[in-house]
Amino acid sequence: MKVKKIKWFRLLLLGVVLVASPYSVASLSSGNQLSFQQTDNWQSWRKVGEAQLSILFFDIYQSKLLSPTGIYQQQTLDVSPHPLALSIEYQRNITQDQLLDATYEQWLKLGYREQDAKRWIAQLSVIFPNIKSGQKLTYITNGETGQFVYSPLPSTSRQIGTISDERLNDAFLSIWLSPKTEYADLRRQLIGMKR
């Protein structure tokens, strides 16, 4: 019974890794200000795919992947070779600590070095908040850098954090988009693959 609970909890946490704090709007890396000219109109992009994560009778989140063309094309190990937006509408509450723990665990499972994962978690800790059911978070990337957009209500959205490290950008999206992800069915649905 304990093993089933742990597995369910890890699945629950996977859906909340995109969370960012409404209190942080600064770039996470020192120096570079990010240019998001390629991603300014992300709301009008086409849907690549979508997936609903449910465990037993519990809906966890609805996720959607968008791109300017409606197509996702991975190139070798680069999971974000072109502009993408990964939007998740949450159907459960979760704490910041749970989000950070789940993110760290997924990176280790994907084979990232513990040293890198700890450094990235420290950066994300200034962005991830507690999240409530019904809130939406979107991570938008131009293929190298990214930004978090938080929608606490359906009619409100604001940028709440940026990622200027290309390795962190790819590591973050790898949780959902890497061929090595723990959640292969979810990935197939998001990238528009037929079963």
pTM of the model: 0.79
Higher pLDDT, 143 or 14: 143
Higher pLDDT, 24 or 150: 150
| Mean pLDDT, residues 89-104 taken together | 88
pLDDT of residue 27: 37
pLDDT of residue 123: 93
User: pLDDT class for 71, splitting at 50, 70, 90?
Assistant: very high
User: pLDDT class for 178, splitting at 50, 70, 90?
Assistant: very high
- What is the DSSP code string of the chain? -HHHHHHHHHHHHHTTTT---TT--SBSSSSPPP--GGGTTGGGPEEEEEEEEEETTEEEEEEEEEESSS----BTTBS-SS-EEEEEEESS-B-HHHHHHHHHHHHHHTT--HHHHHHHHHHHTTT---B-TT-EEEEEESSS-EEEEEEEETTEEEEEEEE--HHHHHHHHHHHHSTT-S-HHHHHHHTT---
User: pLDDT class for 172, splitting at 50, 70, 90?
Assistant: very high
pLDDT of residue 2: 45
